[in-house]
């Protein structure tokens, strides 16, 4: 009776463990297939939201008539509005404001004029132009970005490495779940599958000798005649 009760408990436990293992496998493979079918949505949800703010791009246009030069701001703002404009006309004169108006040089020449803009996020950008002041001639031109600006770019490696790490960890998690599910399923099946029974027979030496002699005598007997 106790043996039957123990077998019954093993059967119930095996069914429960088998169901748990199969549930883990179904969960793992269904989610892995969904991720493989649409990886873009998953990656978008894992991208960090606090991206580095985009800064402004400084630029301006200039027009000269003799020694008189007028500059006009053409800068593009980034994620925040531009709040500061700092002009350097290359002859020691500096002004602030988006469009400072006319500036007059005292002698002819090519002057290195620059503009630095700064936005509400504290990001700044610089542009420069060679302004020509030629008596009785009109000239015009546009600025170029500061060539040294590209050297100060800061790449946010967190925004690149974090999604990659999450994808790798997610794949590793699914692999572990698949291994655990397979192990649990195998354990459950081992509990409920039929087990071979072993029958032990104990015989005394005298009984073994008697059985051997009987088998020998039976083998030595001639077959019955027809």
CB-CB contact of 119 with 82 (8 Å)? yes
Q: Residue 110: pLDDT above 80?
A: yes
Nearest to 127 by CA among 41, 59, 25, 208: 59
Pick from 127, 131, 112, 151: nearest CA to 76: 127
The hierarchical CATH code for the domain 60-152 is: 2.60.40.10
Express each pLDDT in 67-92 by its tens digit: 999 999 999 999 999 999 999 999 99
Q: Which helix (H) or strand (E) holds 10?
A: helix 2-37
Angle at 208 between CA 205 and CA 213, to 5 degrees: 125
The rounded distance, in Å, linking the Cα atoms of 118 and 127 is 12
Domain coordinates in residue numbering, the chain: 2-47+158-192, 60-152
pLDDT of 161 > 80? The answer is no
112 pLDDT higher than 50? yes
The reported pLDDT for the residue numbered 88 is 96
pTM of the model: 0.48
Structure tokens at 90: 């290359």
């Amino acid at each position: 009776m106790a043996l039957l009760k123990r077998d019954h408990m093993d059967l119930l436990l095996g069914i429960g463990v088998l169901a748990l293992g199969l549930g883990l496998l179904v969960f793992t493979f269904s989610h892995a297939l969904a991720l493989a079918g649409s990886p873009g949505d998953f990656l978008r949800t894992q991208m960090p939201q606090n991206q580095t703010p985009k800064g402004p791009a400084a630029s301006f246009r200039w027009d000269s008539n003799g020694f008189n030069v007028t500059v006009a701001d053409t800068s593009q703002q980034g994620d925040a509005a531009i709040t500061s404009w700092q002009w350097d006309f290359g002859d020691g004169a500096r002004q602030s404001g988006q469009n400072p108006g006319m500036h007059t040089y005292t002698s002819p020449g090519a002057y290195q004029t620059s503009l630095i803009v700064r936005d509400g996020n504290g990001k700044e950008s610089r542009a420069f132009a060679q302004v020509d002041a030629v008596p009785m001639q009109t000239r015009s031109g546009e600025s170029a970005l500061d060539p040294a600006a590209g050297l100060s770019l800061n790449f946010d490696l967190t925004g690149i490495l974090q999604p990659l790490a999450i994808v790798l960890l997610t794949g590793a998690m699914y692999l572990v779940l698949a291994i655990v599910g397979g192990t649990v399923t195998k354990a459950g099946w081992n509990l409920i599958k039929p087990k071979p029974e072993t029958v032990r027979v104990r015989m005394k030496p005298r009984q073994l000798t008697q059985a051997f002699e009987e088998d020998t005598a039976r083998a030595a007997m001639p077959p019955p005649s027809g």
